[in-house]
Amino acid sequence: MLNYTTEDLLLYLYQETSKEEREQIEEALENDWDLKEKYDGLRNSLMALDKMIESPRPESIQAILNYAGVNSPVEHP
């Protein structure tokens, strides 16, 4: 059995592995409790990040625009 890294698990989570790699990781997840625990932690973290929808303060956006030389004010949705 291969030793899978956090990067391997992230690639798997983002569906950026080949079919063969995906099957190997799935088999490893079924048989390796520590790897499954690591995977579950990453998956839960990614799901929590996906739920967080935040945007920068309007003042921050305006400061960036001012620095970039854009003079129009920021419009808020």
Is the per-residue pLDDT at 77 higher than 60? no
Cα separation of 16 and 63, whole Å? 37
pLDDT digits (tens, 9 = 90+) for 46-57: 988 877 777 788
Q: What is the pLDDT of residues 20-37, one digit of tens each?
A: 999 999 999 999 999 999
- Compute the distance between CA of residue 13 and CA of residue 59 in angstroms, rounded to an integer: 35
